[in-house]
Amino acid sequence: MSTNSFLPTHKLFSHGYKVLFKKVIILDGYTDEPAGLGVPPYINTYPRLIAGAIWVVDKTIHVKYWTIDTVRSNLNKFIQEATQSDMIVFIAGPEVPGKYIGGTPLRFNEVEKLCFLLRDKTKILVGPAARYGFGGGGGTIAVERIRLKKYFDELVIGDPEIYFYESAKYGLERADPYRMRETYDLANQAFIYGSRIIKQHPNYGWNLIVEIETFRGCPRYITGGCSFCIEPRYGKPLYRRPEDIVREIKQLYNFGARHYRLGKQPDILAYMAKDTGTKEFPEPNTDALRKLFLGIRNNAPGLRVLHIDNVNPGTIIHNKSKAIEAMKIIIKYHTPGDVAALGIESFDPRVVKMNNLKVTPEEAIEAIRIINQVGSHRGWNGLPHLLPGINLLYGLPGETKETYILNYEYLSRLLQENLLVRRINIRKVTVLENTPLWLKKNTVYKLLRKHQGLYTKYRLKIMNNIDKPMLKKILPPGTLMRYLYVEKQVGNHVIARMPGSYPIAVKIPYSLPLRKIIDARIKSIAAKSVLAEPV
Ligand code: SF4
């Protein structure tokens, strides 16, 4: 079959006049970006913005939401529904490589298959894949957009709410797929209208976590940002006002959402920072953070989880007292078990310099110390309130054998200093279009191949010698963990997790009904999970 047979044949577009649609399918292939997660139990912003923008124009348009996992288990039904719809919107972009308990992101060969099966339908691609190419996991080069264009009628490179608002109002052919938002006005409206789409999510009613956007763009854009990262390419950060975020959460709450993560931003401590645009590491705006967190609590009084995600360690180092104050505010209003994921990426000064990373190795350790001082006390669910997480990336230019040794030495220091780190995320870099790293993709590819043996060796070493004793400090045997959802049956045990940021996988050696909420007492520790007895 030639590639040309995938090319769209009919077009809602090609009629040369305004075309409206009545039935839309959203196929969520999941997204994982440096800022923002959309793999179950998370629902990311994209489906809410797409459905919401359409409903802002016309509430009667039928929008059906599917996840790729439900498509896999019910392909015939999906194809039947999709064939009867006017348009299928694919959301994709597993740009940050990872393995997930809750779902498996859309793979490129599935894109090929589904686009072939639906070759006569209008298909639109949305999400980071449309903007930066289709990432295939760690150590891969993304499938370029030019190739993706063969499968889709449109790649929405701009913001989805603008494209789908214009499509519903003026017809698909007049919608601009490149336009980026300059304010959050339309997005705020779309978030409100689109919040009811959560009711169609397979995790709705049990462990669904709604990923909330607080801003976009990295304040480090003024120095170009980290070599591999897509976030500085948005230019000057655009902030969402606290009252708009709170209004969205109130609406989500009314539709039944009980778990939230303020995860769609590169650095929660930089939220509404006043010197954004002049400082690479702006001072935290504690008034805005207080307004935001207090507003959420007042408007979603029965929420069970309120977590954050990314924190830039450089913001802590350059603004110590304000950062401590900001973290204390977060801890006052959030729920325990929270993680401040720090994109340290490397403890090798050479790699830090060559990739314009945010902190030196010593600064990274200092940021970890500070978060420990503020957040390591235990909360009602058995977990410390706020712990740092560490992201390490391999394959970056400047990497040598020494990098592996240095990373290991610095991680060992954490144990020696009795510092707690919730999780160490080790990954191979994914090279994305439009990043400085794209120009060095051959170097990255060679490094990853050359260091494959070291990568495997040190990953294992870190898992056995650091992850395991660290997890034992965080959850010593006997600790009672509360509010765990039974998610999966694997052989003769089940896996239960708390909904939230980087939840710990708890293995229970029994069969229990899925979706049940349990409490469990820790018996022993593995490197990445714990064994527990239900209480
Ligand atoms: S600090 Fe680096 S990794 Fe974090 S958002 Fe900015 S550019 Fe991306």
- CA angle at residue 477 from 474 to 481, to 5 degrees? 70
User: Residue 366 and residue 374: Cα distance in Å, rounded?
Assistant: 13
Instruction: Please indicate whether residue 382, judged by its CB atom, sits closer than 6 Å to ligand 1.
Output: no
Instruction: Please indicate whether residue 216, judged by its CB atom, sits closer than 6 Å to ligand 1.
Output: no
* pLDDT tens digits along 61-120: 999 999 999 999 999 999 999 999 999 999 998 766 567 889 999 999 999 999 999 999
Nearest to 313, CA basis, from 220, 426, 224 = 220
Instruction: Please indicate whether residue 357, judged by its CB atom, sits closer than 6 Å to ligand 1.
Output: no
Average pLDDT of the segment spanning 221-237: 92
* pLDDT tens digits along 240-253: 999 999 999 999 99
User: Residue 393 and residue 426: Cα distance in Å, rounded?
Assistant: 6
Instruction: Please indicate whether residue 217, judged by its CB atom, sits closer than 6 Å to ligand 1.
Output: no
Instruction: Please indicate whether residue 343, judged by its CB atom, sits closer than 6 Å to ligand 1.
Output: yes
Dihedral angle sign, alpha carbons of residues 495, 68, 127, 247 = negative
Task: Give me the pLDDT at residue 137, please.
Answer: 61
Residue 462 has pLDDT above 80, yes or no: yes
Q: Which two tokens stand for residue 394?
A: 């391999």
Nearest atom in ligand 1 to the alpha carbon of residue 310 is: 4
pLDDT band at 305 (very low <50, low <70, confident <90, very high): very high
Contact status, residue 494 vs residue 403, Cβ threshold 8 Å = no
Instruction: Please indicate whether residue 220, judged by its CB atom, sits closer than 6 Å to ligand 1.
Output: yes
* pLDDT tens digits along 447-461: 999 999 999 999 999
* pLDDT tens digits along 322-343: 999 999 999 999 999 999 999 9
Percent of the chain scoring above 90 in pLDDT: 85
pLDDT band at 9 (very low <50, low <70, confident <90, very high): very low
Average pLDDT of the segment spanning 25-43: 93
Nearest to 52, CA basis, from 192, 156, 259 = 192
Taken in order of first residue, the domains within the chain and their CATH numbers are 3-174 (3.40.50), 208-474 (3.80.30.20), 480-534 (2.40.50.140)
Nearest atom in ligand 1 to the alpha carbon of residue 225 is: 7
Task: Give me the pLDDT at residue 4, please.
Answer: 38
- CA angle at residue 153 from 150 to 156, to 5 degrees? 105
Query: pTM for the full model?
Result: 0.93
Residue 141 has pLDDT above 90, yes or no: no
Q: Which two tokens stand for residue 199?
A: 């009711």
Average pLDDT of the segment spanning 46-58: 97
Pocket-testing residue among 132, 218, 233, 279, ligand 1, by greatest number of atoms within 8 A of Cβ? 218
Pocket-testing residue among 32, 220, 267, 318, ligand 1, by greatest number of atoms within 8 A of Cβ? 220
Please tell me the residue having the least CA distance from ligand 1 atom 8.
229
Instruction: Please indicate whether residue 218, judged by its CB atom, sits closer than 6 Å to ligand 1.
Output: yes
